[in-house]
Structure formats: C-alpha cells, structure tokens
Amino acid sequence: MARVLVTERIAQRGLDCLTDAGHDVDVREGLRDDELLGAVKDVQALVVRSATNVSAAVLAAGTDLVVVGRAGVGLDNVDVAAATERGVMVVNAPTSNILSVAEHAMALLLAQARNIPQAHAALVAGRWERSRWEGIELYGKVLGIVGLGRAGSLVAQRALGFGMRLLAFDPYVTPERARAMGVELRSLEEVFAEADFVTIHTPKTPETIGLVGRELLAKAKPGIRIVNTARGRIVDEEALAEAIEAGIVGGAALDVFAHEPPGDSPLFASDSVVVTPHLGASTEEAQDKAGVSVAEQVCLALAGDFVPFAVNIAASDVSEAVRPFMGIAAQLGRFFACMHRGLPDRLVIECRGELAGHSTGILTLAALKGLFAASSEEQVTYVNARQLAAERGLSVEETSAATSPFYKSLLTLRSDCHAVAGTLAGAGARPEPRVVMVDDHTLEIPPAEHMLLVHNDDRPGMIGVVGMALGIAGISISSMAVGPSADGHTALMVLSTSEPVPADIVEQMRDGEGIFGVHVVSL
C-alpha cells in the first residue's frame, strides 16, 4: 500500500481505481505552494491536473515520491527534468482528451467561419444584424493542419467530411501516411501561403514557442483564419493582433493563451476573434478518461510494472514484439546479480534474433531494474536505473545480432566472469519465460522464486550428492536442468527449490568434493 496525494479534482472512477488497488488516497484541493511542500512528505504518488506547480522544490520535498501523475496531456506545470534527475516517474493521460480537443477545434472552425458568437451577442443585445455577420462555407476551402498527431489526425478526418482540401506540416509524418489520410504534406510557409484556415495541434516545446509569429504571418495568404487549441505561446498573440488589424489575417479562434487567464488581451478588441477559456479538454467524457487513465498509470508505477505513458522514459515506443520480454529481462537482471558477490564493472546486454529488429532500450532498463533491485536497498525504477548504473560505475553496453541459431529471440546478460540468457517459449498471448544458458552451459528451466546453481565436476553421482543434501534439509526440488560445459569436463546444475536453501547447506555443498561453486538465486 502507498500514500497517494491528489491535489485537484479528478473523476471519481480514478479515485476508486487507486483505492481499489489498496492505496491510501488523500484528496487535498487548493493547496498553496508552501502547503504542498509539507503535504508531499511521506507520499509515494502525487496526482495533479494543471493548477498544481510540481516544481523542483516540491520534488525535493517529496523524498519518497515514486511517480507524479498528470490527469491530462500538457506538462507545463511539472518539472520533468528535475523529476528524472531524482528518479521520479512522470506519467500523463495523452489519449484522454484528443477527441474532445478535435471536436472543439472543429467547433471553433465553424464558429469562426459563421461568426456564431458575434451574432449571438448582437441578437441577445437586441440587434438583428444578418448582413453584418455573413459567413463563409467550409466546403472547398483549404485547411492547413500544423501537427498531424492524434488530435490533428482526428481533425483531418472530420474536415474531409466537410469537403475541405487538407494540407499539413509535420516533419515526423511520412508522405505515405499523410496520403493515406487524404492530406498533402507541405512546408510550414507553404501551408500558411495556401490555406484559408489553419489549425494548430503541436506540443509546446522550445522549437514551437512563437512558431506562428510576425515573419510567418507576413507570408500568409490574405484573409487566412487561424485556430489554436494546442498550447499558448505557440501563436504570438501580439503579432496575430497586428496581422488582424492590418487585414493580413481574416480572423482567429483561440482556446489557449500565453497567460491563463489572459487578462486584457489585444485580441479581445477585434470582432474577428472567437475565444474560449481553455475548454478543449473540458468535457465530462475527457475528464473521466483522464482521471481513470492517470490512476491506472500511477498504480502500474507503484507496483513496479511497465508504464506505457511514462513521459521520462521511452515507454510509449515499446513494440508489441519487445514488451513480453520485459519480465524475463528483469528476472535475468536479478539472476545475474545473485551470481556476483558485488556489482560487476561491466554489463553487456545482447539481443539476438527477432528482438534485434526493434528498439530494445526498455529491456536494458528492465534488466538494470532487476539487477539493482536484487543488489541494492535503494528504490529502483525505469527512470533512475541508468542513473544508478552511472553512479555505481557500471559500464552498460548494448549489442544486437539478427541471427540466433536456436531461438527466435534470445536475451543475454554478460559480465567478465558470468553470463545468463533467456527467451520466451510457446506461442499465444502468454509465452513462458525460460533460462536457457548460464555461464555458457546450455540448459532450459523456468525461472522460479528460489533457485540454486551448482558448478561441479562432470562425473557420475554429482546429482545425487546435491539431491541428498537438499533432501536431508527437507527441501524439495521443483525442477532441475543440467548443462555440460563445451569441453565436457564440468557441468552446471540449476535447480528450483520449494524454499530458500539455508546458508549452512550452501556452505556444506561448497566444501564437497567435485563442487567448484554454488550460488543461491532469489527471483
């Protein structure tokens, strides 16, 4: 059970998810910055939305923090770099509000085209202004989409239904994928030069801040209309106001601002501007999904499991071919740690076969997580595993090879004195892990909670010696595998036992004739 501090309102289903997992949930809304510093002590998880500032100071005060969960997409209020440095995982809910944001972008697009807010305000004020608020159709117009990710793609689907021609700027999308979506890729300048409407769907990064500024707007098609439901500061609001006043830009619809609330923005004086107070994700459905999604991610992080939406590790890029190997990678890391009396100076992680064709960095993190979990009392996560390796002087090398003589995929951990390899056996949804090599002795055995390695002279009777010692101690052997050395002079026994083998029995075996080494493995 962990303590979870929730500082802003999230869906009840999300709170229920946390409590159902056995965690102690403390909901304390409206904390001041100084109050948060005290509240975060002795807390393992912090769940926020957009109002709570998770600064470096907050992270330093939360010495027990394992994970920070943001119930939404943007992370402007979380110091991700400081969290990573402290080994704290940051998770969000990147898919929770994309449908709501896409629909809001379309709503603003239509409101801008048909002057709906302006006409409404005039009518309720007693003015019948049909001719003043004449609009334009979307059909046949060119829509430029800046950012063809999740939300941008959904907007593209919906805009096609209105009969619009679609252009897009996104350096991370291939022309083939764009064509499949009915979109033509262009440079950013070409999009603004050709489009009647432009909608923004990029994250806020150092590269995108001020992306739509004076220089770009000066090259835009006269009368262009701009919609932004992404993040404030991507559009330079002063430059936009100047372009509207100069007649370069025909209008704008904004849901996000550089400062929120925006105060007395120069854009508010224009009849050509439609604004909403950051409502893109403000639907009942999006808030429910965000609360549940972030709660699920927090539970996974607290359990030490794979977290698909971890922001400060490349978890979202893990392929379906690699993900099943994360468990055996962590087990091999533990196995490897038990074979060494201390931390080795060097660890080589090799992926062979089908694994070699994928990004396998997450397997390195899983192996390191298992290695340090077995050899250190420090809290080890996917976030701080590499940092711990660097601090402890462990050199980590990653290699791969497309060929694997005996297995479709093989994962090997090797130091200067020991080695262990594993794979997954069987087809279907739940293949079973197998240890298939230990110190270059070929064998096959499922990983188990309690295991024993015995390196011995390869002569008759050695299995009986080990079996008798365990039998006298009342320890049952659950499974066993034996692998001879390449020269046939020695052999390695790997046994699964019903309980840990006591230290005195281990020492008794080590002193036995023909036994060169004994290691207790606990997984």
Among 260, 285, 378, 391, the active-site one is 260
CA distance 181 to 164: 13
CA distance 164 to 106: 12
**Catalytic annotation present for 194:** no
**Catalytic annotation present for 184:** no
β-strand 515-522 against 89-92: which pairing, if any?
unpaired
CA distance 492 to 248: 79
Residue 82, CA distances (Å) to 36, 78, 301, 355, 384 in order: 17, 9, 18, 32, 12
Torsion of CA 356, 360, 366, 367, to 10 degrees: 40
What stretches of 147-223 adopt beta strand conformation (E)?
Answer: 165-169, 183-185, 197-200
Q: Tally the C-alpha atoms within 13 A of residue 270's C-alpha that lie toward its C-beta.
A: 24
Among 23, 201, 225, 231, the active-site one is 231
Q: Which of 236, 229, 231, 232 shows the shortest CA–CA distance to 253?
A: 229
The secondary structure element, H or E, covering residue 243 is helix 237-245
Among 23, 49, 225, 278, the active-site one is 278
CA distance 263 to 257: 10
**Catalytic annotation present for 260:** yes
**Helix runs in 379-434, H state only:** 385-391
CA distance 507 to 76: 57
Contact 252, 244 (CB under 8 A): yes
Residue 351 backbone phi and psi in degrees, to 5 = -110, 125
Output the furthest CA–CA distance in the chain (Å, rounded).
104
Altogether, the residues listed in the chain come to a count of 523
The secondary structure element, H or E, covering residue 451 is strand 450-457
- Locus of tokens 């100084």: 34
Cα 267 off chain centre by: 37
Q: Which residues are catalytic?
A: 231, 260, 278
